[in-house]
Amino acid sequence: MLCKMKPKSTMSISQARNALPQVVAEVAQTGKPVTISRYGKALAMIVPATNVLAPVYPLRGMPLVVAKDFDVPLDHYWEAIDDETSASHAAEEPARYGGK
């Protein structure tokens, strides 16, 4: 054990102030958080850094499965895009070339 302090799950703010290095060492060693209280009301918690620094990307490292036909074009979507672009170009053509 790193320190001679008894492991506590809750301690007053004055106890924590007087023994902060030991409290931090105990939390780091045991992995158990310690709650700091004032007048019996919880104010803060000292937790191990490994709990706080959890991965931001929980899906990282998981296998990725891609369908064999993932890159096959969907013809009906392309037709809709072609219809929209040809309609917008047709409306711009006369103005672009000085027409009506």
Q: Which of the residue ranges 16-20, 37-41, 81-85 would you say has the lowest mean pLDDT?
A: 81-85
d(Cα 49, Cα 11) in Å, to the nearest integer?
A: 19
Supply the pTM of this predicted model.
Answer: 0.46
d(Cα 42, Cα 10) in Å, to the nearest integer?
A: 8
Q: Flag whether pLDDT at 74 surpasses 80.
A: no
Nearest one of 89, 90, 82, 5 to 46, comparing CA atoms: 5
Q: Flag whether pLDDT at 73 surpasses 90.
A: no
Contact (Cβ atoms closer than 8 angstroms) between residue 5 and residue 34: no
